[in-house]
């Protein structure tokens, strides 16, 4: 096995040598001596983020309220400007994307708009592997319509506890379905759903469909408008490196600009007349119409340099490297660490067209192995019951990082290092 790792080491060096994106690593703060594999939970800060935050603070200090029109960009238009920079990453027009709220707030804003049960069409189709917050919100939206989630919220079952078969989702689309809300990438296993196919099948049946892209935005190219998705939403603190609690985004297909937002707020008002203080709501005929409150200017400022980095790197190149990184890790694990005494397995689909940006590595001692990795300054995260999530992010991860993780996984089992840790999980895993 050591000889095989030597061969992997040689390959890692060669791939890093010829990596066309390797220079982007220098644009990020990487904790000293750390191999960071948790960018699917919280991305690392661009070095320019600190300057951007300081610049915005300086505008607040020097311009005070004048920053709303004199800031760079003007704070009054910041949400739309961020949406303009975000839109190419999602395959959307600039006016179809806006920075707004948080992921779950945007879910509520969008579902309250698009879920209008009528006649026999009363059901929402989701899936049982979606992030629980989405299910909580969907159940709440069903109750707000006076209906029972146990009857009107349909959760498509998983056949293996890891993935959702698109055929099973489509089978749940029937003449009683009003809306479908699904993840772009499943948060635990990293499965990438065929969003284009699901949109086509939903629209064949006159069903509106939207996507939670929190685990796909910044990890892979999207074509939301070409696919004709009705709506989508996502956070900016994972692959997009916006920082903890950074504001989220939403997408509205321009076909729906004339709809009345279900949760109206004054920042969704037509900007040319927002300060008329008219009591009759007249929303912007763009994604901006679905804003609710004032954008968090300071929290948003570190996000803009990250979006500029994505523009320079290009999503197609980032996706190519991401697949190479996760594919290399899966090859090592399945080829050398799957049999006894190691017992690692990969719960993420192997096919590239079904794989998102992270790898779900499964092991009975996953929690304690995560703790042993952290002691070695390798940062993963854990998802119950037995998943070590590893996200080599193409902007700042190397193939050498991937090899270091694999070697550590081997040595942790060889030395039974995981036994030094409690099986009781921390509050944040």
Residue list for the binding site for pyridoxal 5'-phosphate? 103-104, 131-134, 212, 215, 237, 266, 294
Helix residue ranges per DSSP H, 115-230: 132-144, 149-152, 166-172, 195-204, 224-227
Task: Tell me the pairing of strands 381-383 and 387-390.
Answer: antiparallel
Task: Tell me the pairing of strands 208-212 and 177-183.
Answer: parallel
Q: Is 374 exposed, middle or buried (0-12, 13-18, 19+ CB in 10 A)?
A: middle
Catalytic-residue membership of 131? yes
Catalytic one of 389, 399, 401, 410: 389
Using CA atoms, how far apart are residues 169 and 125, in angstroms rounded to an integer?
8
Buried residues in 287-297 as b, exposed as e (16+ CB within 10 A) = bbbbbbeebbb
Closest Cα partner for 265 from 232, 290, 231, 296? 290
- Non-local (6+) Cβ contacts of 396 within 8 A are 24, 25, 27, 28, 30, 36, 39, 44
88: helix, coil or strand? helix
Neighbours of 144 (CB within 10 A): 13
Catalytic one of 25, 85, 238, 355: 238
Q: Are 222 and 199 in contact (CB under 8 A)?
A: no
Q: Are 159 and 322 in contact (CB under 8 A)?
A: no
Q: Which residues are annotated as a binding site?
A: 103-104, 131-134, 212, 215, 237, 266, 294
Using CA atoms, how far apart are residues 198 and 159, in angstroms rounded to an integer?
18
425: helix, coil or strand? coil
Instruction: Give the containing element (helix H, strand E) for 123.
Output: strand 123-127
Catalytic one of 36, 76, 173, 237: 237
Q: What is the DSSP letter of 43?
A: P
Location of structure tokens 């779950």: 104
Q: Is 273 exposed, middle or buried (0-12, 13-18, 19+ CB in 10 A)?
A: exposed
Catalytic-residue membership of 206? no
Catalytic one of 95, 212, 381, 401: 212
Catalytic-residue membership of 389? yes
Catalytic one of 131, 281, 342, 421: 131
Residues labelled as active-site residues: 131, 212, 237-238, 389
């Amino acid at each position: 096995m050591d000889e095989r790792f030597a061969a992997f080491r040689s390959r890692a060096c060669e791939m890093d040598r010829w990596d066309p994106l390797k220079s982007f690593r220098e644009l990020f703060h990487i904790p000293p001596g750390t191999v960071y594999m948790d960018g699917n939970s919280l991305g690392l800060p661009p070095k320019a983020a600190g300057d951007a935050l300081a610049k915005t603070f300086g505008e607040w200090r020097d311009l005070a309220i004048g920053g709303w029109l004199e800031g760079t960009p003007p704070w009054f238009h910041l949400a739309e400007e961020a949406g303009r920079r975000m839109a190419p990453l999602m395959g959307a027009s600039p006016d179809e994307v806006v920075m707004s709220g948080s992921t779950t707030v945007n879910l509520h804003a969008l579902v309250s708009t698009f879920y209008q049960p009528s006649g026999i069409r009363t059901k929402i189709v989701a899936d049982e592997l979606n992030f629980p917050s989405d299910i909580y919100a969907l159940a709440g939206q069903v109750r707000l319509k006076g209906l029972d989630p146990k009857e009107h919220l349909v959760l498509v079952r998983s056949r293996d506890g890891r993935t959702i078969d698109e055929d099973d989702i489509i089978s749940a689309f029937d003449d009683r379905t009003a809306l479908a809300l699904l993840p772009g990438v499943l948060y635990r296993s990293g499965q990438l759903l065929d969003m284009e196919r699901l949109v086509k099948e939903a629209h064949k049946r006159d069903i509106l469909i939207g996507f939670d892209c929190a685990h796909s935005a910044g990890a892979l190219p999207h074509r939301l408008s070409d696919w004709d998705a009705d709506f989508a939403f996502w956070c900016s603190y994972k692959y997009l490196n916006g920082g903890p609690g950074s504001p989220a985004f939403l997408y509205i297909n321009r076909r729906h600009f004339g709809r009345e937002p279900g949760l109206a707020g004054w920042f969704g008002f037509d900007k040319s007349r927002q300060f008329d203080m008219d009591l009759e709501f007249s929303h912007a005929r763009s994604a901006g119409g679905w804003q609710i409150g004032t954008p968090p200017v300071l929290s948003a400022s570190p996000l803009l340099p990250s979006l500029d980095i994505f523009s320079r790197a290009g999503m197609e190149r980032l996706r190519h490297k991401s697949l190479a990184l996760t594919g290399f890790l899966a090859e090592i694990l399945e080829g050398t660490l799957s049999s006894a005494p190691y017992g690692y397995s990969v719960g993420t689909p192997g096919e590239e067209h079904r794989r998102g940006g992270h790898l779900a590595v499964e092991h009975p001692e996953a929690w304690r192995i995560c703790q042993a990795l952290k002691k070695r300054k390798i940062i993963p995260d854990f998802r119950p019951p037995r998943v070590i999530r590893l996200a080599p992010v193409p902007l700042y991860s190397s193939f050498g990082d991937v090899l270091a993780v694999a070697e550590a996984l081997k040595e942790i089992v060889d030395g039974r290092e995981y036994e030094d840790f409690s099986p009781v999980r921390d509050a944040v895993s």
